[in-house]
């Protein structure tokens, strides 16, 4: 993955992003989240990292400054048809959430959804 070569965390100890507990109210995990979040905050590929974590189903660790609970919430919202403003910043079909290559317009139906709509299905 090419984006990883540009990640701010590339030369950081990986353990910082994988606390021993996913309970981020615990002092040590909360400290790690703050420190990792600072690294992520200056990262030039934060969007790519978050997209990877959401779409690949990452269930552990801090990705783009997000906790596993944050990632689950993004996935639930997307499954309910609510796009994430970071992950889904590209135009997408409102019928099936298929991402379009530019220069499509946001709100435009993909060809499969447009065909279904024409047939009245």
Percentage of the chain surpassing pLDDT 70?
83
Task: Look up the domain containing 121 and give its range.
Answer: 90-121
Residue 95 in tokens = 């019928």
Taking the model in full, what pTM does it have?
0.73
102 pLDDT more than 90: no
Write out the two tokens for 3. 């984006």
Query: Based on the domain organization, do 83 and 106 belong to the same domain?
Result: no
Q: Which pLDDT belongs to residue 62?
A: 96
Same domain, residue pair 95 and 71: no
Whether 39 and 10 share a structural domain: yes
43 is in an annotated binding site: yes
Question: Residue 101: is its pLDDT beyond 60?
Answer: no
Question: Measured in whole angstroms, how far is the alpha carbon of residue 120 from the centre of its chain?
Answer: 34
**Residue 56 in this model has a pLDDT that exceeds 60:** yes
Q: Is the pLDDT of residue 70 over 80?
A: yes
Q: pLDDT for 3-30, tens place per residue?
A: 999 999 999 999 999 998 888 899 999 9
Is 49 labelled a binding residue?
yes
| Residues 64 and 105 occupy one common structural domain | no
């Amino acid at each position: 993955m090419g984006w990883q070569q540009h990640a701010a965390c590339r030369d950081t100890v990986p353990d910082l992003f994988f606390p021993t507990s996913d309970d981020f109210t615990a002092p040590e995990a909360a400290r790690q989240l703050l420190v990792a979040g600072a690294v992520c905050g200056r990262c030039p590929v934060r969007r790519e990292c978050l997209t990877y974590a959401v779409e690949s189903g990452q269930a552990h660790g801090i990705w783009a400054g997000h906790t596993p609970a944050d990632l689950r919430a993004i996935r639930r919202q997307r499954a309910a048809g609510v796009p994430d403003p970071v992950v889904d910043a590209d135009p997408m079909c409102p019928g099936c959430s298929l991402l379009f290559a530019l220069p499509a317009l946001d709100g435009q139906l993909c060809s499969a959804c447009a065909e279904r709509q024409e047939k009245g299905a």
